[in-house]
Amino acid sequence: MTATTDDSTGPVHPRHTSDSAATAADPAAEPASSAAKTAAERATAYLLDRQDEAGWWKGDLETNVTMDAEDLMLREFLGIGDDRTTAAAARWIRSQQQADGTWNTFHGGPPELSATIEAYVALRLAGDDPGAPHMAAASAWVREQGGIAASRVFTRIWLALFGWWKWDDLPVLPPELIYFPKWFPLNIYDFGCWARQTIVPLTIVSAERPVHEAPFTLDELHTDPGNPAPPRRFARAASWDGVFQRLDKALHVYHKVALKPLRRAAKRRAAEWIVKRQESDGCWGGIQPPAVYSIIALRLLGYGLDHPVIRAGLKALDEFAVWPDEDTRMIEACQSPIWDTCLSMIALADAGVAADDPRLIKAADWLLAEQVFADGDWSVRRPGLPPGGWAFEFHNDNYPDTDDTAEVILALRRVQHPDAARVDTAVEKAVRWTAGMQSQGGAWGAFDADNTSPLPNKLPFCDFGEVIDPPSADVTAHVVEMLSYEGLAQDPHARRGVGWLLAEQEASGAWFGRWGVNYVYGTGSAVPALVAAGLPGTHPAIRRAVTWLEGVQNDDGGWGEDLRSYPDPEWIARGTSTASQTAWALLALLAAGEHASPAVERGVRWLARTQRADGTWDEPEFTGTGFPWDFSINYHLYRHVFPLTALGRYLHGGADALERRREG
């Protein structure tokens, strides 16, 4: 079934319209294996050519224009803007505007109110005339959607920094939150690591309530400039929403009467917490939002622009800038070198690059040097657990994650390293740490164990994205797969993980994908893990997954799934075929023993047919996830590493290929 996008009516599913044309365009006489071999060779050459001299790989991590808009607003607030940076950022923001004047948060997605407001404000700061056609179209659409008052809290916080919104009309985050003990509801460790790193500095901002005089008004973004913040209706008092709305009202009163010594001490403690978690490169957690808010918070507490902490933080943010050309600047929300490197190593090894190839050894050496041996926030829930994981970014000792760690281990085991003992020692420590991060139910979250409290999501402040880190099928699958290849398939940790995965399978046969889009990703992760753990291809759970994947294959032979599958079940496994999602489906089918099936052959042919002449694939679609639906990611290497992995396993073997390589 092929899906096309229609924002007004939902997914449309024309049947059997493209397959025959696509097949006719193929060199029909060439066997699928020959086409796969040629495509894999080209893709291998492309990937090897892009390895950094230090041994790592990193593709661009594209999100949406709020990153660029907030970067410009930060520079305006701090008074450090410069003409070249402003013009280059504005050029990128304009290039992402849709024909109707709006901005969205993923390729082909619907318009998004907060993204449009932030982009509009950034362009005004860059000097764009509000009467210009592209600006007038944006402001008119914003008013139609309810204006600034209808935007998310984070957007209104940014506007409050310039006096475009009243602090009294925002939820309160008291800095005294830093004193809540770890067992107390809504203590900072009840939040996911990305959320707590953002919330702690914002408690300082919320207490200080700064206003940097704005250079213009934003009356054109209000439905009624004379009454920009109409009262919001309270939910039922007996509901969680009602409880927290009333709590927020009480906190507004507390803000006015808070004891000054206590408040000063709380802000000081919060600042110490922030500074302690600054990474060696100056960033916080390796991601842009905590870094931005941490810099603002510390600046409000008197840290000068020349203070080493602030200088290092600003320098780190500059490192997130990608310049597509000398006149255009895009901001990455994060950087993914460890993730990209381990996935690249797996792809190259599975495609036939020799295990002792110097380039794989160099990548392994780089990864080994990046292993984290410091206690981070994860140790709050797992005190006494020795460290040993890997993070996602270049510098992030505070927040290693189980997902990266599992994939790094799988990558290292594909390399015949000259110092095998060094690899064994690193893997042993990483396996111990990962196993120890298992949550009570038998599964794994990404950054913390048992980070499952439902309360943080109920706060009025938390109206954007996931703020907790519960276990997910994709992360759990990667850990189970890693444990199985380490000979621990019968270990209680792995068996509990398998049991959890089997219980989480949807009635359709698919698995939900937390960190990738969506059910195709979850299923592409779960099936190889379950097979590696010993389930036969004939197991009912595997057969249900195979049937589901075969049933949702697009007419052109590929697979695709739109991000709208997160809020709307009608979009599940429906979307334009993409290289990464086609690869995920193939990885599951190949693991299930479907090497010779028509679905696999059609998928392989689709990958071979759509490959570019330079050896990679086009993929403007976003297939990665930060927060399901709310924050989407286009990992620019996904379009390459996953297809190469799938082609390699099609050519050289399925789920047992790694074991055969190790024995050989």
448-486 tens-digit pLDDT? 999 999 999 888 878 877 899 999 999 999 999 999 999
d(C-alpha 551, C-alpha 660), whole Å: 32
pLDDT for the residue 18: 37
pLDDT for the residue 245: 78
Contact (CB, 8 A) for 522 and 474: yes
Domains and CATH numbers, the chain: 18-49+507-664 (1.50.10.20), 62-221+236-331 (1.50.10.20)
- Give residue 17's pLDDT band: very low, low, confident or very high (50, 70, 90): very low
- Which contacts of 241-247 are long-range, i.e. CB under 8 A and separated by 24 or more positions? 241/458, 243/458, 244/458, 244/459, 244/460, 245/460
Tokens coding 527: 């099936």
- Give residue 242's pLDDT band: very low, low, confident or very high (50, 70, 90): confident
- Is residue 483 helix, strand or coil? helix
What would the DSSP string read from start to end of 224-265?
Answer: -TTSSSPPPPPPPTTSHHHHHHHHHHHHHHHHHH--HHHHHH
Query: Which of 98 and 232 is assigned the larger pLDDT?
Result: 98
d(C-alpha 210, C-alpha 361), whole Å: 51
What would the DSSP string read from start to end of 379-422?
Answer: GGTSTT-----B-SSSS-SS--BHHHHHHHHHHHTTS--S-HHH
Q: Which residues pair with 632 in a beta bridge?
A: 625
624-627, strands of its sheet edge to edge: 61-62, 631-635, 624-627
Give the number of other CB atoms < 10 A from CB of residue 191.
Answer: 26
Q: Which amino acid makes up residue 426?
A: A
Q: Which residues pair with 390 in a beta bridge?
A: 401
CA 371 to chain centre: 21
pLDDT for the residue 657: 55
Catalytic residue status for 403: yes
Q: Which amino acid makes up residue 366?
A: W
Q: Which residues pair with 322 in a beta bridge?
A: 330
Question: Does the CA dihedral 478-392-297-90 come out positive or negative?
Answer: negative
d(C-alpha 4, C-alpha 6), whole Å: 7
Contact (CB, 8 A) for 246 and 254: no
Give the number of other CB atoms < 10 A from CB of residue 264.
Answer: 14
pLDDT for the residue 205: 97
Phi, psi of 64 (to 5 degrees): -150, 175
Phi-psi region of 389 (alpha: psi -120 to 50; beta: other; left: phi over 0): beta
- Single out the catalytic residue among 365, 377, 403, 448: 403
Question: How many C-alpha atoms does 398 have within 13 Å on its Cβ side?
Answer: 20
Nearest to 298 by CA among 617, 601, 78, 470: 78
For 125-154, the pLDDT digits (tens) are 999 999 999 999 999 999 999 999 999 999
Q: Which residues pair with 627 in a beta bridge?
A: 631
- Give residue 69's pLDDT band: very low, low, confident or very high (50, 70, 90): very high
Q: Which amino acid makes up residue 319?
A: E
pLDDT at 123 > cutoff 90: yes
Q: Which residues pair with 635 in a beta bridge?
A: 61
- Is residue 114 helix, strand or coil? helix
d(C-alpha 438, C-alpha 376), whole Å: 16
d(C-alpha 576, C-alpha 109), whole Å: 12
pLDDT for the residue 387: 98
Give the mean model confidence (pLDDT) for residues 227-251: 76
Q: Which residues pair with 287 in a beta bridge?
A: 334
DSSP secondary structure letter of residue 278: B
Nearest to 342 by CA among 272, 403, 420: 403
Q: Which residues pair with 469 in a beta bridge?
A: 451
pLDDT at 263 > cutoff 70: yes
pLDDT for the residue 24: 35
Tokens coding 160: 């409050």
End-to-end CA distance of the chain: 42
pLDDT for the residue 25: 42
d(C-alpha 287, C-alpha 651), whole Å: 38
- Give residue 664's pLDDT band: very low, low, confident or very high (50, 70, 90): very low
Contact (CB, 8 A) for 73 and 158: yes
What would the DSSP string read from start to end of 331-366?
Answer: E-SB--HHHHHHHHHHHHHHTT--TT-HHHHHHHHH
Question: Does the CA dihedral 528-518-392-89 come out positive or negative?
Answer: positive
Q: Which residue has the tokens 């390459």?
A: 640
**What is the percent of the chain with per-residue pLDDT over 70, rounded to a whole number?**
93
Give the mean model confidence (pLDDT) for residues 88-117: 97
Give the mean model confidence (pLDDT) for residues 560-588: 97
For 635-663, the pLDDT digits (tens) are 999 999 999 999 999 999 854 555 555 45
Phi, psi of 399 (to 5 degrees): -135, 65
Phi-psi region of 515 (alpha: psi -120 to 50; beta: other; left: phi over 0): alpha
Give the mean model confidence (pLDDT) for residues 280-309: 95
